[in-house]
Amino acid sequence: MSARTDAGAAAAIEAACRELHLPTIRSEAGALADQAAKANLSHRAYLADVLTAEVDDRAERRRLRRISEARFPRHKRLEDFDTSMSPVQAATVAALAAGTFIDHGTPVVLLGDSGRG
C-alpha cells in the first residue's frame, strides 16, 4: 500500500466508484469518512458504514423502480386509508399494517364494491 494525500485518496475513490458503478459510495464516502474520524471508528467500521449506505440506497432505488415499472394508475398508501368511509375498523387496519399475518402465513382478502378503492 502506498501513502496517499486526502486529495489523492478522494480522487482514487471517485475513479474507482465510477468504474465499479457505486454511486452512493462515491457521493457519501467523504462525509462518512469525516464522521468516522470524529467518532474514532476503526477502518472496518467505516467500511461497514460505507457499504451499508450503498446497499440501502440500492434497495431503495430498486423499490422505487419496481413501483414505477408496475405503472399503478394511482399510488395508494395504507396511511391514507380512510376508515370513516369503510366498514373496516381502524384497529384492523393497524393490525394489517403491522404485517404479523405475513409471518404467520395467514391469508388476507379484502373485498369491496367497485369504485371503493
pLDDT digit string, tens, across residues 45-75: 999 999 999 999 999 999 999 999 998 888 7
pLDDT category, 94, cuts 50, 70, 90? confident
Answer yes or no: do 19 and 35 share one domain: yes
CA 73 to chain centre: 23
Encode pLDDT of 8-43 as tens digits: 888 999 999 999 999 999 999 999 999 999 999 999
DSSP codes joined into one string, the chain: -----HHHHHHHHHHHHHHHT-HHHHHHHHHHHHHHHHHT--HHHHHHHHHHHHHHHHHHHHHHHHHHHHT-SS---GGG--GGGSSS-HHHHHHHHHTHHHHHT--------TT--
Number of separate domains in the chain: 2
Q: Examine residue 39 and state whether it is found in any structural domain, yes or no.
A: yes
pTM attached to this predicted model: 0.64
Give the structural domain span for 116.
76-117
